[in-house]
Chains A and B, each alone.
Chain A
């Protein structure tokens, strides 16, 4: 796999600002000159058939409003028409009330062109309007300072004011694809309260990296936002779980690290202070990180490790699955929850506030000088398949059809190996230098799956160098030599070789 240099797969529109408890902010539309507009750049070319916003409340009978998208001049809507539509919100106590719901308003379909700046504008159209007859929408996230683009402006009293906070808006193509930031609100407002967490409940970022991205990748860590246990001497864990499709075992734990919650920027000298959600950058501690497969679903969970410890994994909430698709990464990344580690995950239309930190990312399976293999005299096979550069199934998993066990030294690895970087055969040489002959060979060329695990002591000493010569076709003149230097692993009872 290629070194991904710990780049983050950015899934969040922004990171938490210092402001405590970012919540939704509103823009009242209570005069004939009140407006709210959202300025953004079209992400791609599409025919737009609906515009969306998060409606707060209608006060008495609301007037009718117009919603449209327009061109932009000098950072403001220029009235140059795109599509438009109208809406009249029901009364707040109407069974069909829009109170605190995401609303799509159909418009006359019109084209948005990738890279062009547009404004979505909501303004008064007709009907009685005043301080007793109006509607309010949630236009932004208070305290989530935004950016150059997108941004929003409103004019509660008729004078347009450009705002700093992150806007809440959306637009939808006639084919149903959603764009913008159609988020309900700040994670703290919507995530499960800490009191509901117990020792066994788990909250996770479910993620499926699309299959076409490549064959395999490794997650080195995560940047996640939330609150850690508030009491002293508590811990929590960050874990990655696989699925049955991945390992043959439901809820297979692929990575885990326990974090002492006392290590916190919020512990003020023993008097714990928790003002707001914070960013936690946590890396896993496995010697060799788990290989994750593109196209399969994994769950990155933040787990309290004792009953008195609570954690809160912050999450955005969306009106539905299509709206979740508007965020970076789309609906492939979602919040999942379950009552215990042995339960099935429930998938929600939410996006946890997190980014994956990727260490390696593979393209087509091919060997590289980075092959990494370990051999142990006592633990041989278990460690072999953890560390070999192949796709061996997990030894702890139930056997699949056609697979064979291979835990014992001197027994063949057998059909557990699915592939070894595309190679079929292997020769093994000891201290060959430049002499790859019968003088240095310790295993003749043979199918990789027939290679017996090396029982160490009788064969090599602690300073040996082994060379594994791999071929994709038996007897081929083309091969790859992988050199393995050897050192003792303290306390493991075995020897390590590492290329």
Chain B
């Protein structure tokens, strides 16, 4: 099984500790960002494209997502980045080194994180899934989830786009859970 290196985009073995081509690993990222751990909010808007009311609406959506899927939790960051590579590298680092507040439910493992990063200036968005979420959602499916917001984000309707993404993500996860609960008795 292969995966693409977030740094050089070349295909590498899934069990590789570091990229054999560029020597990329999460430890290297910590050196890049000069932090072993970062404490941040579950929802943050460093760019300022969302007003106070919109942040409240998004917070409610995040709480709803958390309630529906007790093993997972959603993190949304609106930020600025130079390019795609920086966005994905920052995402991976945040996924592994981030400590998020408020985290009311300490029982949730960070493996269950779904990280959504949106960069309005460079017009990029990415979804990164933790180790617990990843087996349930393929990259293709996550891309389709992001596509829901494509036209909305083009029109700079960032809140609406984010809500569309959350709704579609919830729907796909529900479908997956229903399918598993339906098939499980057949194969057990």
A and B: bona fide binding partners: no
Residues of A with Cβ closer than 8 Å to B? Answer: none
Residues of B with Cβ closer than 8 Å to A? Answer: none
